[in-house]
Amino acid sequence: MNLLIKNIAIITALCFCLPATALEQDDHENHATHDMHQHHDHDHHASDTGHGAHDGHQATGGPVLTRTEDIESALAEGGEPIVADVLGVVCDFCALAMTKIFSKREEVAAIYVDLDTKALNLVLAPGASMSDQTIADLAVQAGYRIAEVRRGDAALGSAS
């Protein structure tokens, strides 16, 4: 019993130390953060990548916006399209978590998490804005990481 209590005390102490850094330690994440801050470069260099690229991807720069009914409708109202590549999104619970967290935001008019392209697809409400940092922070609340964010024409696959 004493040994058990000692072990649980050690595990508990570790738990309180580890969670703060639990989602911050992976090499991929460091790489992801770097990628996210470099996204404007990607945007400016995306080219020759019109709609209908194979598998929802541009020839360069990652997947383009997945067009669901809600997404099309929000686009028609003039909202800004955003596509964010998500690390670790492999199941419906992942998609549900992202959807729940982002749907609470007034800025978000439509959302779809595409497991095939591993991308978070957003269309903002007309006139609304959402920074890359806010998107990254909300993804953390859902338990995931953003690798890269594309906006506007780059998100639509029509950048030139």
**Judged by CB under 8 A, which stretch of 44-52, 69-77, 135-143, 149-157 contacts other proteins?**
135-143
Q: Are 144 and 89 in contact (CB under 8 A)?
A: yes
Candidates 39, 63, 82, 85; binder of other proteins (CB under 8 A) is: 85
Candidates 44, 59, 141, 152; binder of other proteins (CB under 8 A) is: 141
Residue 143: CA atoms inside 13 Å, Cβ hemisphere, count?
12
Q: Specify the DSSP class assigned to residue 61.
A: S
How wide is the angle at C-alpha 90 spanned by C-alphas 26 and 80, nearest 5°?
Answer: 90
- Strands of the sheet with 145-151, listed across from one edge: 108-114, 119-124, 81-87, 145-151
Question: In the complex with other proteins, which residue's Cβ is closer, 145 or 150?
Answer: 145
The footprint of other proteins (CB under 8 A) covers 1, 4-5, 7-8, 11-12, 14-16, 18-20, 22-23, 25-26, 28-29, 32, 85, 87-98, 100-101, 112-116, 118, 140-145, 147
